[in-house]
Structure 1
Amino acid sequence: MADKIKFALAIALLAAGVVGFYLLAEQAMILRILVVLVGVAAAAALAWFTEPGQRFFVFAQEAAVEARKVVWPTRKETLQMTGAVFAFVVVMAIFLWVTDKSLEWALYDLILGWKKS
């Protein structure tokens, strides 16, 4: 039950930061952003002390470890794949345009006899 109360307070702190952003509409933007960041930090600090919060932070740490294990493509591989995707999109666009114009010609000119002037 205590975890639920702490979690509800954390959500309230987060909401207070967002509400503070709008209530301080006449203030400098840096102050408004600072209020939101303080609300987020306070909510995260309070959520840290809940059991679901602890599980989330452990999950986040494990996700970061797994992300470091990923073998990211090199610049050359990235450019090659981007080029292949771009070429495929161009080929598909031309194919769909030709298909559309062929169907337009077949329907309007041959079947319906609506010759364009």
Structure 2
Amino acid sequence: MADKLKFALALALLAAGVAGFYLLAEQAMIVRVLAVLAGVASAAAMAWITEPGRQFFSFAKEAVNESRKVVWPSRKETLQTTGMVFAFVVVMAVFLWLADKSLEWMLYDLVLGWKKS
């Protein structure tokens, strides 16, 4: 129950930061942005001390660690793969055009007996 109250307080702090942006309409933009950032920071701090918040931040930390392990393709591999995709798209476009024209020819000329002018 305490975690739920802390999480509700975190949401209220976030809402207060956003409300501060609109309530400080006459102030300079930097003050309004700082109000939002203060709300976000205080909400994050409050969420951090809840058990679901700790689990989320642990998950986020593990996700960052996993993303560092990603091996990105080289420029050559990227260009080759992109070239294969473009070639496949062209081949498929020609195939679909031929299929469309063949069906059109069969429908108009053979089935309906219409001649295109």
TM-score norm. by structure 1 comes to 0.79
Quote the residue 1:45 is aligned against: 45
Counterpart for residue 84 of structure 2:
84
| Counterpart position of 1:111 | 111
Q: CA deviation at 1:38?
A: 3.2
How many residues matched? 117
> Where do 5+ consecutive residues of structure 1 fail to align?
none
Q: Which one has a bigger Cα radius of gyration?
A: 2
Q: CA offsets, 1:6-27, max 9 Å, x none? A: 1122223333444555666777
Q: CA deviation at 1:110?
A: 1.5
Which of 86-95 and 20-29 deviates more?
20-29
Identity %, equivalent residues: 79
Structure 1 segment 91-102 matched on structure 2, within 5 A: 91-102=91-102
**C-alpha separation between the residues in 2 aligned to 1:20 and 1:82?**
48
Note the C-alpha offset of 1:30: 5.3
The CA distance in 2 between the partners of 1:25 and 1:113, in whole Å, is: 73
Question: Could you report, residue by residue, the CA deviation over 1:57-81 in whole angstroms, capped at 9, with x for unpaired residues?
Answer: 1111111111111211111111111
